[in-house]
């Protein structure tokens, strides 16, 4: 019996994904994380064991495998445009 997504009812399959996680104003990206992913809406499901491993890794302050630069844009610059939309 196939697992179904709790949100849309789509089929859920085992995959390896990336997980973006914010903790104390820092963004951490975990690659190659085992998950179950809805083929329809893309919702990701992680086991409690995976969350336990991630929690342990964050506490250990390990040296990252790689670092990337991420552009950050302030939405405040576009306030007039946003006010027109809402």
Q: Which pLDDT score is estimated for 81?
A: 64
Dump pLDDT digits (tens) for 26-69.
999 999 999 999 999 999 999 999 999 999 999 998 899 999 99
The string of pLDDT tens digits covering residues 57-84 is 999 988 999 999 989 888 777 776 666 6
Return the bridge partners of 35, or none. 15
Can you give the pLDDT at residue 84?
60
Predicted confidence band of residue 2 (pLDDT cuts 50, 70, 90): confident
The dotted CATH code for 3-85 is 3.10.20.860
- The DSSP-derived string for 33-69 is EEEEEETTT--EE--HHHHHHHHHHHHTTPPPS----
pTM exceeding the 0.85 threshold for the entire prediction: no
Helix (H, G, I), strand (E, B) or coil at 2: coil
User: What residue segments make up the domains of the chain, in order of their start?
Assistant: 3-85
């Amino acid at each position: 019996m196939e697992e179904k997504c709790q949100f849309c009812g789509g089929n859920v399959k085992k995959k390896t994904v990336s997980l973006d996680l914010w903790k104390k104003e820092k963004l951490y990206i975990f690659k190659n994380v085992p998950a179950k992913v809805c083929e329809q809406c893309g919702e990701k499901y992680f086991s409690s064991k995976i969350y336990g491993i991630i929690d342990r890794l964050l506490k250990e302050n390990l040296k990252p495998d790689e670092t990337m630069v991420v552009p950050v844009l302030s939405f405040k610059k576009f306030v007039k445009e946003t006010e027109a939309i809402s």
